[in-house]
Amino acid sequence: MLRSGSAEDAEAALLALLNLAVKDESNKTKIIDAGALDPLVDFLRSPNSVLQENAAAALLTLSASSANKPAIASSVAVPRLVGVLDTGTPQARADAITALSNLYVAPNALRSILQSAPVPRLIGLLKASDKSSRTAERCISILEPLMAFDEARTALAAEPGGVLAVVEAVEDGSPRAREHAVGALLTLCRSDRSKYRRRYSTKG
């Protein structure tokens, strides 16, 4: 049904898979083993917003399984999910960021996220979100480990209001968001004291 070419069939199949996967670890792995990953990833680029949202929700649910993380993270799902942060509906963006927060701990997933130029998209979503929201928390949870890479630090510093958005998460975020935001800023400052610490120490 996912591959039938019918939007109606695909929507019904996506909803059925979501219902089967929720709170059932065995079904989560069976869905991936049955070959659902490729069509799910394709639907992330669908002009049909319902299909895109349902696909993002399905990947969010499936990526919560430890057994599924390596397969999903090694596919093109990661760059497609990063792309949804730009082009998706608000619900699709929220589900995509949650899926990415599930996946970044998988081997090589963080590098794959980095190669998709995520920082401007993460900052854009962070700016648009209430800093105490789960969406903001998940954005920050991904930004923190990305700060280990020079290209991510450079992208954050170059993004207008990027560092300020992270500082605002320290001030107004949930306890977990604050922890990640402090970690991100600490890594940023430690990486190059003259470049970052002096530049931002007088701001805010």
Q: pLDDT tens across 21-60, in order? A: 998 999 999 999 999 999 999 999 999 999 999 999 999 9
Span 135-142, average pLDDT: 95
What values do phi and psi take at 129, rounded to 5? Answer: -105, 150
* Per-residue pLDDT at 181: 96
Could you tell me the domains of the chain? 1-116 (1.25.10.10), 118-204 (no CATH)
* Per-residue pLDDT at 189: 87
* Per-residue pLDDT at 100: 96
- Rounded to whole angstroms, the Cα distance separating 138 from 49 reads 23
pLDDT more than 90, % of the chain = 85
Is the pLDDT at 192 greater than 90? The verdict is: no
Where do the H-state alpha helices sit in the chain? 7-21, 25-33, 37-43, 49-63, 69-73, 77-87, 90-103, 109-114, 119-128, 134-146, 150-158, 162-172, 175-191, 198-200
Structure-token pair, residue 146: 């990305």
- Rounded to whole angstroms, the Cα distance separating 20 from 65 reads 14
* Per-residue pLDDT at 190: 86
Long-range contacts of range 11-20, CB-CB < 8 Å, 24 or more positions apart?
Answer: 11/50, 11/51, 11/54, 14/40, 14/43, 14/51, 14/54, 14/55, 14/58, 15/54, 17/58, 18/54, 18/57, 18/58, 18/61
Residues 6+ apart with CB under 8 A from 102: 60, 63, 64, 69
